[in-house]
Homo-oligomer: A and B are copies of this chain.
């Protein structure tokens, strides 16, 4: 479950928490806080928070003082790692936070979505482009591409706003076990120099200093590469007065076991754990266990619980949060469909491209398979990869803990870890009803090819489908000359193990032998009635079909197709409504003569079971359908009449 074999941090002494500005401009060293002393800093800063702060507003962290944190974060893995740090930070914090995130384009894309959907009150996030800092450090020879991002910590002052007086700089691989305000309080020790930072007089001094040192190191020591920590260490060796070491509880490192043990045996309260030697997590040592459990605590922590306001501080609400709260407050809890209403309004945290991903090269007729799943369908992924060699965009509905299990699952599967063109988007669970259409929309929004195949996770496409679809799109001039949805006929097998047909001819043989059925032939024939399976048997060319009530084929459409209606949560009508939307927008339905996909057996979902057993559930779905039709009439006028008629007919049948 834990990351294995990541590179060890470079320096033996990693000063993880840089009191960046102040920490390096302190004149005079306070012996009380040297490494290995027994003192802790609990008493003073904690107690002082609750005293009147009027006399020294700037120096003591007052109750609602904004704390500033800067983190350099680049790439998929760091974007995942930073979340655990954020959760531990937010869990213990009681102050407003301003996060200054220096990111590459990948991390920015991921983290912007995450923080927008996380909606944590009293957290401000600013992004800075790491590209701007690259020229400032790229002259330093470096072993890893990622080392460049480490070096950026040297030049942070040049990108952060001038108005920023103090900032705590964190690595992404740390876990807090205390309130960061206690660390912030350490700034108070250096009251004489804080203003120096404000007017940036010293900044020049610092820049000259580290550059000189770095150049000298490169010359005299014939170093082939320098990491940020090497430079910090060299500067500190030359200018010992500059540094104010943090009490070791603020940087309990796993790379140097002896030091760490001396630290925490003396100071009972750990503040920050630094995972700079993750390989050590696997040691079955009692202390490693303690650290690991703290880390796992936040790895699996349900991030939505951090959407809590601060007490007694003016709360800065994230965008949309207040409107959302009002909308939720207006819901009537006694209404029978309250659960549905609440679920529709829920904003799920979304972590797009949870795993490293290689976007597909731009190709004019390329198609992305779009689907959504939860934990109980993970076992479909390998087979799906074998059947669909093209790009995929998959939304996964998971808890935070399940996301880690999913990570482990992919890492231990040779088939899955070999595929970099599959993008996995984690939508975090919240609420009792499955938000099927919200999931589909997340996966759809992240598809990067001009066309999408809107499928379901229980289906395996024909082996040739990916190539055939691209050829068909080109041939039919889909998107450019023709507004059409290409229908992929759906079949099903009832057997756990069966040999997948290699061609339409083989499929028809199985169909005739009763080993395969057309999809939901027994339970819901109207869902695929319009596809006209008997015509498909004989068809040599694509043929157009007309919409009919409850039609829900699997289709290929341009990426800019209408979104799914998010009001449909749980079981029922979620695809039907989307197909109506396509028809209302005058998409032609063209059935492809060689395309097919096959549904594998599974147990009925919890939602379908609830649908069957609860009349309330069915009534709520009916109410949703009617509201959908009202909206449809508003938007499409009399053209929407046929859908309403169909609905009324189906109701009178029911």
Contacts and interface: CB of A to CB of B under 8 A. Distances in A.
Interface of A: 1, 38-40, 42-43, 46-47, 49-50, 63, 91, 94, 264-270, 282, 284, 286-287, 289-290, 293-294, 296-297, 300-302, 305-309, 311-312, 315, 325, 328-329, 333, 375-380, 382, 399, 401, 405, 408-409, 413, 415, 432, 458, 494-497, 514, 522-523, 600-606, 608-609, 613
A328 B468 CA distance: 53
B50 A42 contact: yes
Contacts of A401: 302, 399, 401
Nearest to A261: B311
Closest 4 CB pairs of A and B: A43-B47, A602-B603, A494-B494, A379-B609
Given A284-B328, A290-B311, A523 B494 contact: no
Identify which of A38, A40, A284, A495 gathers the most chain B CB atoms within 10 Å of its CB. A284
Contacts of A50: 38-40, 42, 267-268
A411 to B, nearest CB: 11
Copy tally for this chain in the complex stands at: 2
A333 B284 CA distance: 11
Contact of A307 (B266, B284, B293, B382): B293
A380 B306 CA distance: 34
A305 B311 contact: no
A378 B309 contact: no
A495 B604 CA distance: 10
B312 A601 contact: no
A284 B40 contact: no
Given A50-B267, A63-B268, A603 B603 contact: yes
A309 B289 contact: yes
Contact of A494 (B309, B495, B604, B606): B495
A325 B379 contact: no
Contacts of A308: 289-290, 293-294
Contacts of A432: 1, 405, 408
A302 B300 contact: yes
A278 to B, nearest CB: 15
Nearest to A298: B305
24 contacts: A42-B50, A43-B46, A46-B46, A47-B47, A50-B267, A265-B311, A266-B312, A268-B311, A270-B311, A282-B333, A284-B328, A287-B311, A290-B308, A290-B309, A290-B311, A293-B308, A296-B305, A302-B401, A376-B376, A379-B605, A379-B606, A401-B401, A415-B613, A497-B522
B284 A306 contact: no
Nearest to A307: B293
Nearest to A306: B293
Nearest to A613: B382
A401 B306 CA distance: 16
Nearest to A376: B376
A608 to B, nearest CB: 8
A301 B87 CA distance: 14
A405 B301 CA distance: 16
A264 B311 contact: yes
A602 B605 contact: no
